[in-house]
Amino acid sequence: MTDVTINSRICGYVHEVNGKIDGNKVIIEIDTPCNVVKNISHMEVPLEGIFGIKDNYVLEKASHAPCCDTCLVPVALLHVCRLEAGYMSKTLAKNVGNITIEFK
């Protein structure tokens, strides 16, 4: 199981995400105050749909939500999926702690 917090400071929302591998898919649950993100708050993401940008399951669902093009949630969901699928190291992710965008 992978749990992450997405702090979307620009839009003022904090989203709590839980992901869990289940066979050949990752089950995603999002607790969010954002009405747009609520449209994708439950997803069953097929593992073959988490690679690339074109034909990406998560990005496709986010575009129909419709999340804005700068929303942090879809990319964070891809991180959760890759962590659950074993394509990214959970230890490395925990050691890094967070990913940031710093405006200067």
| Residue type at position 10 | I
Q: How far apart are CA 38 and CA 17, in angstroms?
A: 12
Q: Does residue 66 have a cis peptide bond before it, meaning omega lies within 30 degrees of 0?
A: yes
pTM for the whole thing?
0.91
Residue 53: burial class (beta carbons within 10 Å; 0-12, 13-18, 19+)? exposed
Q: How far apart are CA 67 and CA 97, in angstroms?
A: 25
Condensed to tens digits (0 to 9), the pLDDT of residues 27-76 reads 999 999 999 999 999 999 999 999 988 889 999 999 999 999 999 999 99
Question: Does the domain formed by 2-96 have CATH 3.90.1010?
Answer: yes
Residue ranges covered by each domain of the chain? 2-96
Indicate the pLDDT class of residue 18, thresholds 50, 70 and 90: very high
